[in-house]
Structure 1
Amino acid sequence: MSDKHPDCSRVSQLECELYYLIARFLMSGPCQKSARVLIQELEEHQLIPWRLDWEGKEHRRSFDNLVSANKHVSSDHLLQICQRIGPLLDKEIPPSVPGVKTLLGVGRQSLLRTIKDCKHVLWKGSAFAALHRGRPPELPVNYGKSPNIVNITTAKQLTGCGRHSYVFPVVAYQHVKMYKRILGHLSSVYCVAFDRTGRRIFTGSDDCLVKIWATDDGRLLSTLRGHSAEISDMAVNYENTLIAVGSCDKVIRVWCLRTCAPIAVLQGHTGSITSLLFCPNTRGKTQYLTSTGADGTICFWQWNKENMKFNNLPMKFTDRSRPASQISCSSFSSGGMFIATGSTDHVIRVYYLGSGSPEKISELTSHTDKVVAIQFCNSSHR
């Protein structure tokens, strides 16, 4: 490199191109100010690749000039590279949890893993000889770090991989004991839920309150008020940023889990709320919250993942084969493309969310009595 750009001599051409792709990616998203600051620093420190003319002389170039010279590179080029690395690496070195796509994994989930890192080392004669001499072998790298059961269970629910017996062996239940007993509500508690990290517990009571508790010591973190009747169901979104609470007052209230501030008050049912579910499909800005009610309707509430604003006008389906029938339960498929509801009119109804807007695709009428519970299988199409 020439002495004219000493900053660029300390970094490689690959690093300069990486800075450029990061700036392009930031420009196409919500971080416009960060993109402008990064571009300014790249030009100040001369970290933009220089241009060579036909005589081999180097010339400085601006960021806009580099963009115009690389029109074949789209703004999401860096994201496309990250998306293609994972499947290629999975073919060569399978991860420990198939189907989980992340750039922040460690061990066999890391994008920097090698065959040597994932190789299973067999004990040889020298290791057994060390045991006979009284010197134990070296402890494994992850010794003392117990697996996070919540993360394992969540991965199983999202990908449909693994068996419940592997996560919670039968021997674990032999050591179950009461950890904490808390008297925190003034009436019966019929709703309880964990957040996605397992560090908070949400309880809904007939005293019209929702309370948030810490799992480590059982202390009360916050109390959510607003409902005027018994709490009937709760749901936490998959980004772990929102909690939706349904009540017998026919109203759904949504709170932010970061600030405990109210986000939305959704009024679309004429009967008590019987079930609430956030759609597991977290791709794209538009997400869905589904609610079923004693009025025999299912509502699909659209909300924006970036600004967390809800559309107060839901897409509603009123499906009842006879008067006074209620939708009592619901369940999403593991990918979030289908949702099934059970009703007191003995009918199971399936809705499809993959065509842009929800639509009913099937009615199953094999039961001879009310359907009170329903659940999709995580590992197949059952």
Structure 2
Amino acid sequence: MDVAVAVNAHIPPDYLLRICERLGPLLDKEIPQSVLGVQTLLGVGRQSLLRAAKDFRHTLWKGSAFAALHRGRPPELPVNYGKPPNVVNIISARQLTGCGRFSHLFPTSTYQHMKMHKRILGHLSSVYCIAFDRSGRRIFTGSDDCLVKIWATDDGRLLSTLRGHSAEISDMAVNYENTLLAAGSCDKVVRVWCLRTCAPVAVLQGHSASITSIQFSPARKGTTRYLTSTGADGTICFWQWHANTMKFKDRPVKFAERSRPGVQISCSSFSSGGMFIATGSTDHVIRIYYLGSESPEKMAELESHTDKVVAVQFCNNGD
């Protein structure tokens, strides 16, 4: 053994790795790997360095081939193109990396078979907000008849009607534990219900005008959670609640952002981790708040718009 080491002393420790790095690009040109851009020495199947053409069940199509098949039409994938990953894989990838490709979850062939699942006449007035629960088994609708209704996704039957508001429902949100439903209304009140019993949990009164948006924070600090609400009074309220007891504090942490009379905060969006929330308002300003300290605090004011900010959204990976 010592003789072999002495004879090959001129060979560096990473010699085999460097050989693979040179062979890898040559192999990729002949037989592309299943995940483009990912090179590994430990892969198997279509990701292995020993892969052969027979390992591929489907032909790799390129944009030029699609254009040749569909002259006069935009390029699109054939119906039998590959087999997309299942929903579990896509959702898991999005939780780990913050992003996922919608085309993987729903191939183009899906849209050819879409049809109306159910049509329900369930409210006495206009329905302006709607939300799914975290499992996708229930649908929540908020209407101008002051009611919030819960429907079953599978057959459309009415599960429950939540009452209490005295004006139009303006926005709804479901917490990330899928235990609470919050609804904001033009009556200046945010009401919270338990999704297991449909019993009222809290009535939150911190605004002096209509509620424009409500959001549950994805962030988790022990058992401390936050529900945020923005209003036409130019304020944002951070309602703290306990994850186990589901009890809300009576007084919120409030920021009044009325730089001039009549300013409204119209929209809000949490970052993917829940540490930041951005709001847009009619005074053209985007404001960023931070929830990572002992109490929520304002981090920045972005004044690049020249008109009302009516929608704001963090990207999935938080960039």
- Do the structures match in fold with TM over 0.5? yes
Cα shift at 1:205: 0.4
Deviations 1:8-34 (A, max 9, x none): xxxxxxxxxxxxxxxxxxxxxxxxxxx
In structure 2, what is the Cα distance between the partners aligned to 1:330 and 1:163? 24
What's 1:147 paired with? Answer: 86
Deviations 1:125-177 (A, max 9, x none): 7999xxxxxxxxxxxxxxxxx9347x845862675132233223344333222
Residue 282 to residue 367, structure 1, CA distance change in 2 (3 Å): same
What's 1:344 paired with? Answer: 282
What's 1:282 paired with? Answer: 220
C-alpha root-mean-square deviation of aligned residues, in Å? 2.7
Deviations 1:87-108 (A, max 9, x none): xxxxxxxxxxxxxxxxxxxxxx
Residue 342 to residue 265, structure 1, CA distance change in 2 (3 Å): same
Deviations 1:265-287 (A, max 9, x none): 00000010000000011341010
Which of 239, 247, 259 does residue 309 from structure 1 map onto? 247
In structure 2, what is the Cα distance between the partners aligned to 1:361 and 1:126? 53
Mapped pair 1:167 → 2:105 = yes
Q: Could you tell me whether the CA contact under 8 Å between 1:158 and 1:335 is conserved in 2? A: no
Residue 306 to residue 158, structure 1, CA distance change in 2 (3 Å): farther
What's 1:375 paired with? Answer: 313
In structure 2, what is the Cα distance between the partners aligned to 1:226 and 1:331? 26
Which of 168, 171, 182 does residue 233 from structure 1 map onto? 171
Q: Could you tell me whether the CA contact under 8 Å between 1:158 and 1:334 is conserved in 2? A: no
What's 2:141 paired with? Answer: 203
Cα shift at 1:322: 1.2
Higher helix share: 1
Q: Could you tell me whether the CA contact under 8 Å between 1:157 and 1:378 is conserved in 2? A: no
- Give the secondary-structure state (helix, strand or coil) at the position aligned to 2:94: helix
For residue 285 of structure 2, what is the amino acid of its counterpart? V
In structure 2, what is the Cα distance between the partners aligned to 1:331 and 1:280? 11
In structure 2, what is the Cα distance between the partners aligned to 1:345 and 1:126? 59
**Following superposition of structure 1 onto structure 2, how do residues 29-108 of structure 1 map, counting pairs within 5 Å?**
none
Which of 124, 132, 136 does residue 186 from structure 1 map onto? 124
Which of 267, 270, 294 does residue 329 from structure 1 map onto? 267
- Give the secondary-structure state (helix, strand or coil) at the position aligned to 2:112: helix
In structure 2, what is the Cα distance between the partners aligned to 1:299 and 1:157? 28
Q: Could you tell me whether the CA contact under 8 Å between 1:337 and 1:353 is conserved in 2? A: yes
In structure 2, what is the Cα distance between the partners aligned to 1:365 and 1:213? 42
In structure 2, what is the Cα distance between the partners aligned to 1:358 and 1:127? 53
- Give the secondary-structure state (helix, strand or coil) at the position aligned to 1:226: coil
Q: Which structure 2 segments of 5+ residues have no match?
A: 1-41, 58-84
In structure 2, what is the Cα distance between the partners aligned to 1:162 and 1:125? 28
What's 2:303 paired with? Answer: 365
For residue 281 of structure 1, what is the amino acid of its counterpart? A
Residue 178 to residue 357, structure 1, CA distance change in 2 (3 Å): same
Greater alpha carbon shift after TM alignment, 247-256 vs 160-169:
160-169
- Give the secondary-structure state (helix, strand or coil) at the position aligned to 1:192: strand
TM-score by length of 1: 0.61
Cα shift at 1:217: 0.5
Q: Could you tell me whether the CA contact under 8 Å between 1:158 and 1:280 is conserved in 2? A: no
Mapped pair 1:269 → 2:207 = yes
Q: Could you tell me whether the CA contact under 8 Å between 2:86 and 2:105 is conserved in 1? A: no
For residue 337 of structure 1, what is the amino acid of its counterpart? M
In structure 2, what is the Cα distance between the partners aligned to 1:329 and 1:322? 18
Mapped pair 1:355 → 2:293 = yes
Q: Could you tell me whether the CA contact under 8 Å between 2:142 and 2:170 is conserved in 1? A: yes
Cα shift at 1:321: 1.8
Q: Could you tell me whether the CA contact under 8 Å between 1:159 and 1:334 is conserved in 2? A: no
In structure 2, what is the Cα distance between the partners aligned to 1:347 and 1:316? 18
- Give the secondary-structure state (helix, strand or coil) at the position aligned to 1:166: helix
- Give the secondary-structure state (helix, strand or coil) at the position aligned to 1:276: strand
State the identity %.
74
TM-score by length of 2: 0.72
Report how many aligned residue pairs link the two structures: 250
Q: Which structure 1 segments of 5+ residues have no match?
A: 1-115, 129-145
